[in-house]
Amino acid sequence: MLLFCLGPAVWEGPHSAAARAVLPLTLAFNVLAPRTRAGLALLVAGNLSVLATPSLLRDVPSDTIVLAHDAHLEFRGGWYGWERQGRESWRWCTRGAVLVVRNEGSKPRAVGMSFRVRSPVDTTIVFDVAGARQTVPVAGDRMVPVELPPFVAPPGETSIRIDSPDPPWQEPGGDGRQLTVSVYDVRATVAVVR
């Protein structure tokens, strides 16, 4: 019953705090439930929140995305934390944000990347990958698909810089973050260069 009384702040974020907020009550309920046949039914009904556990553990956002067994994508400077709504997750960046492809293998890798971006205002985003630049215009509050041209990632680290000639956007009365673009659904293909 307490779940119905919790405020909106407890339900926000990538992993809602609702299950944690009622955990002490759930444990006390489990200890105090009668040890009878009817008590067993009550115990099962009182623990139905356990069914939400897989959705809390699925797709836990991380600063590192595995591209291949020895190739990873890392979110480095200029990124804010993960945000999530339903099954969709994204990260906001400010100007000069950096993604790094870390090739831990001994051979160069051909990497192709695609994702979607969105900005609250009209802006231009510049992607600088291994010396090649790609400019993408983004209309305010519209999702724009981006596909970076394939590039070679030698052993070690290859940086992808995300920048904009436009000033970052700051939400009026917001939390003071300097927002340039949000990035969704990062996907990559990786192949060994022969």
Q: What pTM value is reported for the model?
A: 0.67
Check whether residue 10 and residue 76 sit in a common domain.
Answer: no
Same domain, 72 and 168: yes
- Is the same domain home to 91 and 162? yes
Q: Could you tell me if 68 and 116 lie in one domain?
A: yes
Average pLDDT over residues 47-76: 75
Pair 154, 187 in one domain: yes
CA 50 to CA 54: how far, in whole Å? 8
Range of the domain at 101: 64-192
Taking the C-alpha atoms of residue 147 and residue 167, their distance in angstroms, rounded to an integer, is 24
41/69 same-domain check: no
Q: Which of 21, 103, 117, 120 is nearest to 69 (CA)?
A: 103
pLDDT tens-place string over residues 119-173: 999 999 999 998 889 999 999 889 999 999 899 999 999 999 999 999 999 888 8
CATH of the domain at 91: 2.60.120
pLDDT (0 to 100) of residue 2: 64
Of the pLDDT bands very low, low, confident and very high (cuts 50, 70, 90), residue 57 is: low
Total of domains in the chain: 2
pLDDT score recorded for residue 16: 59
Q: pLDDT for 90-128, tens place per residue?
A: 999 998 999 999 999 999 999 999 999 999 999 999 999
Q: Are residues 73 and 18 in the same domain?
A: no
User: Encoding tokens for residue 38?
Assistant: 């009817």
Nearest Cα residue to 31 out of 47, 49, 52, 51: 47
| Residue 168 sits in the same domain as residue 123 | yes
Average pLDDT value over all residues in the chain: 85
**Same domain, residue pair 43 and 71:** no
